[in-house]
Amino acid sequence: MNAKTLKRSAVGVAVAVALSAGYVAGHRNVPAPEVISPAQAAMMPAEAAAKTGIPDFSGLVETYGPAVVNISAKHVVKQTAMRGNGGNGGQGAQGGNSLPIDPSDPFYQFYKHFFGGVPGMQGGDDGGGQADVPSASLGSGFIVSNDGYILTNAHVVDGANVVTVKLTDKREFKAKVVGSDKQSDVAVLKIDAKDLPTVKIGDPRQSKVGQWVVAIGSPYGFDNTVTSGIISAKSRSLPNENYTPFIQTDVPVNPGNSGGPLFNLQGEVIGINSMIYSQTGGFQGLSFAIPINEAIKVKDDIVKTGHVNRGRLGVAVQGLNQTLADSFGMKTPSGALVSSVDPGGPAAKAGLQPGDVILSVDGQPVTDSSDLPSQIAGIAPGSKAKLQVWRDKASKQFDVTIGALSDAKQVASADTPAQMQGRLGVAVRPLTPEEKSSASISHGLLVQQAGGPAASAGIQPGDVILAVNGRPVTGVEQLKQMIAQAGNSIALLIQRDDAQIFVPVDLG
């Protein structure tokens, strides 16, 4: 909002006050104001909610607002001079990050860092040199212990040289970054103070879609701004965010809200506001919060050991649709479908295979593939876990020793003459020994052309067909027989680039 708009609003308030004063002056028989007792005042928000359906958040804000802080992080960054959008530098939340963004990416407008403007498109001259450019970012946070521990987003303080925390009583403290975890986007700060106001921690698992929630933060640097909305969805999986089941809300959050708390109506923090989806850089009804139970685990690990411990199963998984579920003999498409198993990993040692569907972990249901990574990550490495798995049209149980999280990649490539599989609609050929070695696979057929049902299902040239309905494919004739004997739908396990996925194919 610019200065003119603010000024115009002030004039409007003044006119309203003057009119109100004139009205009272011209009406001498105005009844005396009614005196309301504290007990009556306490009942008014509940009565208002009952009449309008809209709750009163004033008590929540009064009680827990003082525990919400403003965070200023100063950086020195290497930046390439480019002609572009200078971000919100003049509005308090500068776009100090310089990140490469592909404008053709459908998530180009997914402003993860809440700093306004497009990262990597800072204003400047047309030169191509690099320079040390000081920048500052504003964010929010909240106090979780009265001795000065504060939670915020990792991206708020990432690369910061100086972090300053300002309380609602105007006191300012230099903060120490105890640690941060980029995978969960959680950072822990510490200030040297005592007897601080703190928030109350809630359980996001008890929250429901449609319930009211409240955000307090510093959008565009406006301290302790309160906004409200409802929970739109839970356990939302987002691109490149494998270990966080986000809470989606329609709460208005903007640059500067990042790192602030998301409250339920009981005044409990159930999340940390972290991301927005926007075409403008501002609020558009899609905001995402990190569940507070995930954040508290990260905080406890960082404070205790200096780093975050995450469990690893050693599988790649994908979601199920009804066609895939039918091909595996399942009534409903729930669970996490294992598309690949890391050789020598915890899952491989326990006997899991591609084509298995993980239904639960230690009795906790896996309703969708996006549930599994956070469930496994929350188990301490070295611990035992019981997996309920669907295999060969029956439920089986596997005991697995959870490993420590690490990354592994597999690659596949190829090309040459092929044979066409009529009913499926693909031209395939065997892989060469060199191709198998470079892709770290022992079998498979390279797709050179795709048409008919295969093309309709999304099969592309360059894919490697590894299995049909869970049975490994080792030769062209074998594939032909499998397709001839198959029903109206099959599940192909393919390797594409560095990932293995199941593709449901309707053969009609």
Task: Tell me how far apart the alpha carbons of residues 225 and 253 are, in angstroms, rounded to a whole number.
Answer: 10
- Asked if the model's pLDDT at residue 408 lies above 70, the reply is no
Q: Which residues pair with 271 in a beta bridge?
A: 262, 291
Task: Tell me how far apart the alpha carbons of residues 345 and 340 are, in angstroms, rounded to a whole number.
Answer: 11
Instruction: Give residue for tokens 């892989």.
Output: 431
Percent of residues in the chain assigned helix, strand, coil, to nearest 5: 25, 35, 40
- Express as a percent the part of the chain with pLDDT over 90: 40
Q: Select which of 258, 340, 360, 489 is catalytic.
A: 258
| DSSP, res 281 | S
Q: Are 415 and 388 in contact (CB under 8 A)?
A: no
What are 141-200's pLDDT values in tens digits? 999 999 999 999 999 998 888 999 999 999 999 999 999 998 889 999 999 999 999 999
Q: What is the CATH number that goes with domain 311-404?
A: 2.30.42.10
**Least reliable range by pLDDT among 108-117, 164-173, 261-270, 329-338:** 108-117
Instruction: Give residue for tokens 């091909």.
Output: 327
Closest CA to 99 of 158, 139, 186: 158
Task: Give domain 419-506's CATH number out of 1.10.3720.10, 3.30.2010.30, 2.120.10.10, 2.30.42.10.
Answer: 2.30.42.10
Closest CA to 488 of 323, 314, 279: 323
**Least reliable range by pLDDT among 18-27, 71-80, 360-369:** 18-27
- The two tokens of residue 397 are 């149980």
Q: Are 45 and 55 in contact (CB under 8 A)?
A: yes
508: amino acid identity, one letter? G
Q: Are 302 and 308 in contact (CB under 8 A)?
A: yes
Which alpha helices (H) appear in 128-243, and where do they start and end?
154-157
Residue 406 designated active-site: no
Structure confidence at residue 411 (pLDDT)? 23
Residue 113 designated active-site: no
Q: What is the CATH number that goes with domain 65-190?
A: 2.40.10.10
For residues 31-44, give the mean pLDDT: 48
The sign of the torsion formed by the CA atoms of 276, 248, 299, 202 equals: positive
**Least reliable range by pLDDT among 65-79, 100-114, 141-155:** 100-114
Structure confidence at residue 406 (pLDDT)? 52
138: amino acid identity, one letter? L
Residue 371 designated active-site: no
Q: Which residues pair with 438 in a beta bridge?
A: none
Q: How far apart are the first and last CA of the chain?
A: 59
Domain coordinates in residue numbering, the chain: 65-190, 201-305, 311-404, 419-506
Closest CA to 402 of 366, 362, 371, 368: 362
Q: Are 159 and 274 in contact (CB under 8 A)?
A: no
For residues 115-135, give the mean pLDDT: 46
**Least reliable range by pLDDT among 17-26, 72-81, 250-259, 443-452:** 17-26
Total residue count of the chain as it appears in this document: 508
For residues 476-495, give the mean pLDDT: 86
**Those residues with Cβ within 8 angstroms of residue 343's Cβ, 6 or more apart along the chain or in another chain:** 440
Structure confidence at residue 488 (pLDDT)? 83
| DSSP, res 432 | P
Q: Select which of 72, 113, 140, 155 is catalytic.
A: 155
CA 414 to mean position of chain CA atoms: 35
- Asked if the model's pLDDT at residue 19 lies above 70, the reply is no
DSSP-based three-state secondary structure for 44:
helix
Domains 65-190 and 419-506 share a fold: no
pLDDT class for 28, splitting at 50, 70, 90? very low
Which span out of 131-140, 358-367, 373-382, 496-505 was modeled with the highest average pLDDT? Answer: 358-367
Task: Give domain 201-305's CATH number out of 1.10.10.10, 2.40.10.10, 3.40.50.150, 3.40.50.300.
Answer: 2.40.10.10
Buried b (16+ CB within 10 A) or exposed e, 264-287: bbebbbbbbbbbbbbeebbbeebb
Q: Select which of 75, 181, 184, 185 is catalytic.
A: 185
Closest CA to 448 of 438, 392, 435, 262: 435
- Asked if the model's pLDDT at residue 376 lies above 80, the reply is yes
Q: Which residues pair with 130 in a beta bridge?
A: 80
Task: Tell me how far apart the alpha carbons of residues 201 and 198 are, in angstroms, rounded to a whole number.
Answer: 9
Structure confidence at residue 5 (pLDDT)? 35
Instruction: Give residue for tokens 């003049």.
Output: 90
Q: Which helix (H) or strand (E) holds 304?
A: helix 292-305
Which is higher by pLDDT, 98 or 332? 332
